[in-house]
Structure 1
Amino acid sequence: MHIKPNIHFLLRVLLLVFSACSTPDDTAREQEMAAEEGHEEGTVRMSPAQINAIGLKLGPLQNRNLTGTVKVTGELEVPPQSKASISATVGGNVQEIKVIEGDRVRKGQTLALLTHPELVQMQVDLQEAASRLQYLEQEYNRQQRLYEQKVGSGRDLQEATSNYNTNKAQVEGLKSRLRILGLNTGSILSGRIYQSVPVVSPLSGYVQKVYMNIGEYVSPQQQMLTVVDRSQLHADLMVFEKDVANVKVGQKVSFTVANAAGREYTATVYNMSPAFEEDVRAVHLHADIEGSTESLIPGMYIEGRIAVDSTTALAVPEAAVVLEGDQSFIFVKTGEVGAEEAHPAEGNTTGATEAPAQTAGKAWVFRQVPVVTGASDSGWVEVKLQQQLPDSAQVAYNGAYNLIAEMGKGNTAHAD
């Protein structure tokens, strides 16, 4: 009859005995385990010191007007009509070089002088041929008059005509050759003999390269100088196959060059190649550069972005997004806890010792939220949410990589 009450009494006594034997360390361990069991997966806590060390900032998801961009690379070029490779039209020795690399020159300006005995002989041949032509012309006119008066024979007139036309062609040929060399044939026929031949620029621009030395013999067609008209400088860019559909004539390009990394230039697409570069599966496009190009040089490597279609979408600063594997994440603040509930101070590897006033005594709790990124513009990136967030949600605007690293340390600690 009294067995059941006695059993209850004995159980109470045993419970009191075990409770008295437990230590404070055991109690703390039980509380820590309970806290870990209550720690939500995919969250991370940042202590006031950690928040202060990385300058963590919060802000809402914003609807922003973003202009999508296509990244491109290329170099600065001039069209073929704006670049001249100047060579010798006749062999000769370099007597004088009148320019150096970088000099600005005008069309028709003498860049160098060549000399060779054959040049003198060509001028002498022209003078002799012109003198003989005068005699043959007179003979031709005389024979024509005699023939018209029925005094001369037709054979004599034919011979005079042939000799006259042959010599005339010879004179015109010598004149043409000397004009090509840049010599004044009128002065030569007046008795002047030029000792040297000028090498002139066919266009206005800058001397890009000089390939000769004083006294050097240059053969016909040998390249002597290169002159470039930089006023027609443009951006020659490569667009990969996957982006071609988004690019068209009239779009704006922003680009930088290596020698002026802090300056951004603007250009407008005016031409797209209709053919692919097979080895890289890309097409060339050409863009006119706006503003001054004085500091730009053909051949410079450039990196740029082409502005494509605009869109209005939810966006966060680029520093708010972290990529882990193939998935992008942002961190949303879910609450605050007392600093003693956050990660221990010795777990903070940032070296900070003081928390900012707005976080004093409080740790911030963040939840990892997966997103899909889209267009980016001026430091902001479009994010497409995979789960609904309240309008009042506060996002970590920076330090996303710090947050995911801290989360990784927490997961490792729990695994241990």
Structure 2
Amino acid sequence: MKNIKSKFKILLILNTLFLLLLTSCGEKKTEEENHEEEKSENEVALTAVQFKTVGIETGVLENRNLNLVIKANGYTTVPPQNMANISTLIGGTVKDILVLEGTFVNKGKVLATIQNLEVVEMQEDYNSAIANIEYLQLEYNRQKTLSDENVNPRKVLQEVKAKLDVEKARAKASKSKLQALNMSTNGSSLVPIISPISGYVGKISIAKGAFAETGITLFEVVDNSQMHLDLNVYEKDLGSISVGQTVDFVLTNQGNKAIKGIIFGINKSFSNESKTVAVHAKINPADSKDLISGMYVSANINIKNTTVPALPKEAVVKNGDKYFVYIQEEHEEKATKENTETHQQKKGEAHTDEAVGEEEGHNEVHFKAIEVMPGTTDLGYTEVKFVEAIPANAKIVTKGAFYLLSAMKGGGEHEH
């Protein structure tokens, strides 16, 4: 009986150990599967045929002289002296509109005419004052002669002189009013609305027959010859900005056409709640002729030229919110080569050519995605900083990285 119990205990212990061994193996297998799954998320393999067809090229990290830039957004604009909002100093009925929106006008061009009878009274006042001045001037000369000969008292001469001065002041005031309205001292009751600058007519805010009020903008005229940029630069970047730096900017609505500018002014106060400061850059007049005030631009302010680790621009790809490059894994190549040699030995010497042809379709070249932080891009190269260190002699994919990204996502997977 004791022997039976002993054997039963031994059997129970062996079963328990067996179950623990199975559980341990299962957990280990699960860990290995999870590891393989995690590993496959940032790795991709190509067959030898795919590798040749795609034209994958590799290189090494290089030190390149690149322009460090600060990115900024902004708008095209013109200085205040090159933009005119034209109104009238006297109200009246719009008689004629002589221009159209978008047409070029020279300084002094009559844009419209306004009819107002008050200007007729101004002309009458001026002409009346001029006539009185002529009479009083003669009377003043006569009284002066008599006063010098002690014929008339000097008081009469002074009264005539006072009247003469009043009429001169009235004539000057009337003339100044007419000149402010761009009118002559003789003429019609039509007040001309004149452009104070040369430029293109913008919005026209009046209609023929309507009443034009004072202080209301009737025409907009813009001179684009002095176009410049207003760029919004954040506070953290202000210390790197200075007058004379070059700016490269593109117009998103003109096929990303690249244009250059030079910084000529930096505001000394924050322009809005976003804590940005307006930086002004002058544009070459030859490049600004097709620009319109208010165009949105994306610009790079060139800070300095420095040597940084860089790769060709197409070597860096974006996946979600992160950037990656691909390196070729050497150990995978070696294992593949050893497997190929072993397989060829098994095939035998008589079938060597067939084995090579067959293995070319199954040999794999493995690549691994490495996260990087891109910096400035210049002359076709992008500055890169690796999140984790890589081998000094790592083969980095310089051509075909986008294909590898597609393959890794499932768009370029191959059949085994």
Q: Report SS of the residue matched to 1:288.
A: strand
Relative to 1, partners in 2 of residues 1:404 and 1:110: Cα closer, same or farther, differing over 3 Å?
closer
Relative to 1, partners in 2 of residues 1:132 and 1:36: Cα closer, same or farther, differing over 3 Å?
closer
CA distance in 2: counterparts of 1:60 and 1:110, whole angstroms? 68
User: What whole-Å deviation, never above 9, does each CA across 1:381-411 have from its counterpart, x for those lacking one?
Assistant: 22245435243x32123565765676688xx
Relative to 1, partners in 2 of residues 1:60 and 1:303: Cα closer, same or farther, differing over 3 Å?
same
Question: What code does the residue aligned with 2:43 have?
Answer: V
CA distance in 1: counterparts of 2:107 and 2:183, whole angstroms? 16
Whether the 8 Å CA contact 1:102–1:206 is kept in 2: the answer is: yes
Question: Residue 269 of structure 1 corresponds to which residue in structure 2?
Answer: 263
CA RMSD, aligned part only? 3.2
Question: Residue 303 of structure 1 corresponds to which residue in structure 2?
Answer: 298
Whether the 8 Å CA contact 1:329–1:369 is kept in 2: the answer is: yes
- Pick from 320, 329, 332 the counterpart of residue 327 of structure 2: 332
Question: Residue 387 of structure 1 corresponds to which residue in structure 2?
Answer: 389
Relative to 1, partners in 2 of residues 1:361 and 1:59: Cα closer, same or farther, differing over 3 Å?
farther
Whether the 8 Å CA contact 1:70–1:306 is kept in 2: the answer is: yes
Whether the 8 Å CA contact 1:256–1:303 is kept in 2: the answer is: yes
CA distance in 2: counterparts of 1:137 and 1:37, whole angstroms? 112
Q: Report SS of the residue matched to 2:90.
A: coil
Q: Report SS of the residue matched to 1:261.
A: coil
Relative to 1, partners in 2 of residues 1:299 and 1:368: Cα closer, same or farther, differing over 3 Å?
closer
Whether the 8 Å CA contact 2:44–2:368 is kept in 1: the answer is: no
Q: Does 1:181 find its partner at 2:176?
A: no
Aligned residues: 353
CA distance in 2: counterparts of 1:50 and 1:249, whole angstroms? 52
Relative to 1, partners in 2 of residues 1:59 and 1:201: Cα closer, same or farther, differing over 3 Å?
same
CA distance in 1: counterparts of 2:159 and 2:312, whole angstroms? 94
Question: What code does the residue aligned with 1:46 have?
Answer: A
Question: Residue 285 of structure 1 corresponds to which residue in structure 2?
Answer: 279
CA distance in 1: counterparts of 2:33 and 2:365, whole angstroms? 16
Pairwise CA distance, 1:375: 3.2
Question: What code does the residue aligned with 1:305 have?
Answer: N
CA distance in 2: counterparts of 1:202 and 1:267, whole angstroms? 28
User: What whole-Å deviation, never above 9, does each CA across 1:132-185 have from its counterpart, x for those lacking one?
Assistant: 221122222222221111111122122111111111100111111111111233
Q: Does 1:195 find its partner at 2:189?
A: yes
CA distance in 2: counterparts of 1:235 and 1:73, whole angstroms? 10
Pairwise CA distance, 1:313: 2.3
TM-score by length of 1: 0.76
Percent identical pairs in the alignment equals 33
Relative to 1, partners in 2 of residues 1:206 and 1:406: Cα closer, same or farther, differing over 3 Å?
closer
Question: Residue 229 of structure 1 corresponds to which residue in structure 2?
Answer: 223
Q: For residues 41-120 of structure 1, what are the structure 2 equivalents within 5 Å?
A: 41=39, 44-48=43-47, 51=51, 56-120=56-120
User: What whole-Å deviation, never above 9, does each CA across 1:356-377 have from its counterpart, x for those lacking one?
Assistant: xxx7543211244454543332
Q: Report SS of the residue matched to 2:298.
A: strand
Question: Residue 125 of structure 2 corresponds to which residue in structure 1?
Answer: 125
Pairwise CA distance, 1:318: 3.9
Whether the 8 Å CA contact 1:250–1:268 is kept in 2: the answer is: yes
Q: For residues 202-281 of structure 1, what are the structure 2 equivalents within 5 Å?
A: 202-281=196-275
Whether the 8 Å CA contact 1:44–1:406 is kept in 2: the answer is: no
Relative to 1, partners in 2 of residues 1:55 and 1:241: Cα closer, same or farther, differing over 3 Å?
farther
CA distance in 2: counterparts of 1:326 and 1:213, whole angstroms? 54
TM-score by length of 2: 0.76
CA distance in 1: counterparts of 2:408 and 2:175, whole angstroms? 87
Whether the 8 Å CA contact 1:338–1:361 is kept in 2: the answer is: no
Q: For residues 368-407 of structure 1, what are the structure 2 equivalents within 5 Å?
A: 368-385=369-386, 386-387=388-389, 389-391=391-393, 393-397=394-398, 403=404
Question: Residue 349 of structure 1 corresponds to which residue in structure 2?
Answer: none
CA distance in 2: counterparts of 1:38 and 1:93, whole angstroms? 85
Question: What code does the residue aligned with 2:389 have?
Answer: Q
Q: Does 1:314 find its partner at 2:306?
A: no
Q: Report SS of the residue matched to 1:212.
A: coil
CA distance in 2: counterparts of 1:380 and 1:138, whole angstroms? 89
Question: What code does the residue aligned with 1:321 have?
Answer: V
Relative to 1, partners in 2 of residues 1:36 and 1:201: Cα closer, same or farther, differing over 3 Å?
closer
Whether the 8 Å CA contact 2:259–2:287 is kept in 1: the answer is: no
Relative to 1, partners in 2 of residues 1:380 and 1:172: Cα closer, same or farther, differing over 3 Å?
same
Pairwise CA distance, 1:380: 2.4
Q: Report SS of the residue matched to 2:142.
A: helix
The structure carrying a bigger helix percent of its residues is 2
Question: What code does the residue aligned with 2:316 have?
Answer: V
CA distance in 1: counterparts of 2:195 and 2:37, whole angstroms? 79
User: What whole-Å deviation, never above 9, does each CA across 1:241-281 have from its counterpart, x for those lacking one?
Assistant: 12222221111111122331231111111111111235011
Pairwise CA distance, 1:209: 1.7
Relative to 1, partners in 2 of residues 1:329 and 1:197: Cα closer, same or farther, differing over 3 Å?
closer
Pairwise CA distance, 1:105: 1.0
Relative to 1, partners in 2 of residues 1:68 and 1:34: Cα closer, same or farther, differing over 3 Å?
closer
Relative to 1, partners in 2 of residues 1:92 and 1:382: Cα closer, same or farther, differing over 3 Å?
same
CA distance in 1: counterparts of 2:197 and 2:37, whole angstroms? 76
Question: Residue 16 of structure 1 corresponds to which residue in structure 2?
Answer: none
Q: Report SS of the residue matched to 2:196.
A: coil
Relative to 1, partners in 2 of residues 1:262 and 1:101: Cα closer, same or farther, differing over 3 Å?
same
User: What whole-Å deviation, never above 9, does each CA across 1:70-126 have from its counterpart, x for those lacking one?
Assistant: 111111111111111111121211111111111111111111111122122221222
CA distance in 2: counterparts of 1:301 and 1:40, whole angstroms? 44
Relative to 1, partners in 2 of residues 1:407 and 1:302: Cα closer, same or farther, differing over 3 Å?
closer
CA distance in 2: counterparts of 1:94 and 1:53, whole angstroms? 74
Relative to 1, partners in 2 of residues 1:372 and 1:101: Cα closer, same or farther, differing over 3 Å?
closer
